[in-house]
A and B are shown apart, each in its own frame.
Chain A
Amino acid sequence: MINHVTIEEKVQETPTVFSMYFKWDMKVMPGQFVMVWVPGFSEVPMSLSSTGERKCLTVKVYGETTARLAALNTGDRIYLRGPYGKPFTLTEGKKLLIGGGSGMASMRPLIDDRATGIIASRNADELLFADHFKEGQAICVTEDGSKGMKGLAPDALDKLNLKEFDAIYVCGPERMMYAIFQKLKGKDLNVEFSLERSMKCGIGLCDSCSIDGFQVCRDGPTFHIKALEESREFGKTKLLSSGKRVYF
């Protein structure tokens, strides 16, 4: 069923990322996603970056459909269906959020005073939501070194005592998540990853987004590190839009 909502506010977060705020009378949990349709173009899966009464979609422009979506303004209509998927398991305790690129969008609802963030991007301009963390609790990592540490998200892990955190949440490109997974696995840490695969139906039917027989759209997108430790596909193989298996 398609829902129709109206944009109340638009905020430019980075040169290529925009947040669209709207009211939507629907219960959504952090980590869940919606399928956003841009009539005449395509439909894309997007996590909600705000899940209270006022919802938010944070759009990163990476193609024609997202460019159209990002070009919408206050008063314009958004077409969406959902929410879908398994949310993050919430914790009251101390948490670490690791976001690469636009990955921090799905974790923004988890940010509170007890949250530490590792925010990674290509350069200083594209760091997303670093200013939402309590002062001193945001670790920025940039590939070009234009702000914070020079390097990639996993590099920042070495500076932290990971045992301090009751939960660790990770969202970003699969290569980044796999590198983080390699560092965190087998250490008895409570880690959840939000996975991204080629998604088409969003409702657990088409098998496009499957990993190890689980559907990212339905059994995920959030997966506990324990489930991924048994995975034969995570970080290794994935299916293209046609279903052809390729190696990372």
Chain B
Amino acid sequence: MTADTKLGCRISENIKIQFSIMPVMRSLKTTAGGVSFENPLILASGILDENGYTIKRILEEGSGGAVTKSIGMEERDGYIPPVVVEHENYIINAMGLPNPGIENFGEEIKIARTAGKPIIGSIYAADPEGFLNLAEKMVDYGVQAIELNLSCPHVKGFGTEVGSDPVLVKEIVKTLKGSIDIPIWSKLSPNVTSIVEIGSAASDSDGIVLINTVRAMAIDIYARKPVLKNTYGGMSGSSIKPVGIRMVYEIKKELDLNIIGVGGIESAEDAIEYIMAGASAVQIGTAVWKYGRNIFSTINSGISKFMEDNGYENVSKMSGVAVQ
């Protein structure tokens, strides 16, 4: 059976359900990190978000918004393959921040924006000035918010190396908040000793995105070598969900910040779990590998049904209800 036939079956099943029960669709509208979304699902950075046409298609097929690939000042090819390790319940990737450079990314955002949904521009740099230059460009391109990549686990000098230093994080967020008029999101790494310490340093952000991938690696025992060309990578997928839930919960409980949850979400139940832990919206990435682009509409239907069955009027009423 081809991927198309499978997709066809799934779509027709959904239509059948909608027509036979005719549920009252609950509003999935939500505001997260200062941005309004028609539903709480956002495409996570790094997944299917390099080509403007891909972002546009994902948005048209059900995602409420999309975060771009992380963009830096200079064009970067990323690492030589293998760039992924595939396992039943997780992926380890070391793409190496491939990106065309900020000057070349305007055209992709222009294409993506034709979908008419929020685009969040992800950026990476080594210092506050770098982040500010990139953010200003992103504002020019018309994005609705900036996501600071403070957490890529596999590129020297960027990502986690910046994001695990609370003083630097505080300075970056302060610099951007003082100069940029659109919302600033900080995407944090789980590869730190205290997520509360870093969360606190980033607390002036409009949104805290939790979590990026978990630093990991795999070895092929016959080749007797690490599989990833870069040796180390970041793990994503359903295996990391409990780590993400814990960190979202911890930041909500200790700091009560506005949170966008991400890490291992594959179903409506997973998304609701993140929302109940304190997230206002969630991001989806790796699940696209298992379930295809259709995952967004499937999860949205599931959340809507859960809200209907359990008497929730909107997403914000569910947010943080499990925090005690």
Measured CB to CB, the nearest residue on chain B to A239 is B51
B222 beta carbon closer than 8 Å to chain A: yes
A12 beta carbon closer than 8 Å to chain B: no
B220 to chain A, nearest CB (A): 6
Pick the most buried of B51, B78, B83, B223: most chain A CB atoms within 10 A of its CB: B51
Q: Do A205 and B48 have beta carbons less than 8 Å apart?
A: yes
Q: Do B222 and A201 have beta carbons less than 8 Å apart?
A: no
Measured CB to CB, the nearest residue on chain A to B87 is A1
Q: Do A205 and B78 have beta carbons less than 8 Å apart?
A: no
Q: Do B288 and A242 have beta carbons less than 8 Å apart?
A: no
Q: What chain A residues lie within 8 Å of B49 (beta carbons)?
A: 207
B82 to chain A, nearest CB (A): 4
B residues 192-239 with Cβ under 8 Å of A? 220, 222-223, 225, 227, 229
Q: Which of A2, A86, A206, A208 contacts B220 (CB 8 A)?
A: A2
Q: What chain B residues lie within 8 Å of A77 (beta carbons)?
A: 222
B36 beta carbon closer than 8 Å to chain A: no
Q: Which of A4, A79, A206, A213 contacts B95 (CB 8 A)?
A: A206
Binary interface encoding of chain B residues 12-52 relative to chain A, with 1 for a CB under 8 A from any of its CBs, else 0: 00000000000000000000000000000000001111110
Bound-state CA distance A40–B107 (Å) is: 36
Q: Do A212 and B53 have beta carbons less than 8 Å apart?
A: yes
- The dominant DSSP class at the A interface is loop
Q: Do B222 and A243 have beta carbons less than 8 Å apart?
A: no
B187 beta carbon closer than 8 Å to chain A: no
- The dominant DSSP class at the B interface is loop
Q: Which of B220, B223, B289 contacts A205 (CB 8 A)?
A: B289
Q: Do B53 and A213 have beta carbons less than 8 Å apart?
A: yes
| Interface residues in B, total, Cβ within 8 A | 50
Q: Do B227 and A37 have beta carbons less than 8 Å apart?
A: yes
B76 beta carbon closer than 8 Å to chain A: yes
Q: Do B51 and A213 have beta carbons less than 8 Å apart?
A: yes
Q: Do A200 and B86 have beta carbons less than 8 Å apart?
A: no
Measured CB to CB, the nearest residue on chain B to A39 is B223
Bound-state CA distance A229–B101 (Å) is: 31
Stretch at the interface among A127-135, A140-148, A150-158, A214-222: A214-222
B186 beta carbon closer than 8 Å to chain A: no
Bound-state CA distance A43–B78 (Å) is: 14
Q: Do B81 and A218 have beta carbons less than 8 Å apart?
A: no
Q: Do A205 and B99 have beta carbons less than 8 Å apart?
A: no
Bound-state CA distance A200–B288 (Å) is: 16
A residues 1-60 with Cβ under 8 Å of B? 1-2, 4, 35, 37, 39-40, 42-44
A78 to chain B, nearest CB (A): 11
B323 beta carbon closer than 8 Å to chain A: no
Bound-state CA distance A83–B241 (Å) is: 28
Q: What chain B residues lie within 8 Å of A1 (beta carbons)?
A: 86-88
Bound-state CA distance A87–B83 (Å) is: 24
A182 beta carbon closer than 8 Å to chain B: no
Bound-state CA distance A163–B145 (Å) is: 54
B94 to chain A, nearest CB (A): 11
B250 beta carbon closer than 8 Å to chain A: no
Q: Do A213 and B220 have beta carbons less than 8 Å apart?
A: no
Q: Which of A42, A204, A243 contacts B99 (CB 8 A)?
A: A243
Q: Do A245 and B220 have beta carbons less than 8 Å apart?
A: no
A159 beta carbon closer than 8 Å to chain B: no
Q: What chain B residues lie within 8 Å of A245 (beta carbons)?
A: 51, 100, 104, 107-108
Q: Do B95 and A242 have beta carbons less than 8 Å apart?
A: no
Q: Do B3 and A219 have beta carbons less than 8 Å apart?
A: yes
Q: Do B83 and A201 have beta carbons less than 8 Å apart?
A: yes
Other CB < 8 Å A-B pairs besides A207-B54, A213-B56, A243-B98, 5 of them? A1-B87, A206-B48, A212-B53, A219-B3, A242-B100
Pick the 8 closest A-B CB pairs, nearest first. Answer: A213-B57, A244-B100, A43-B81, A39-B223, A207-B50, A243-B50, A213-B53, A241-B77
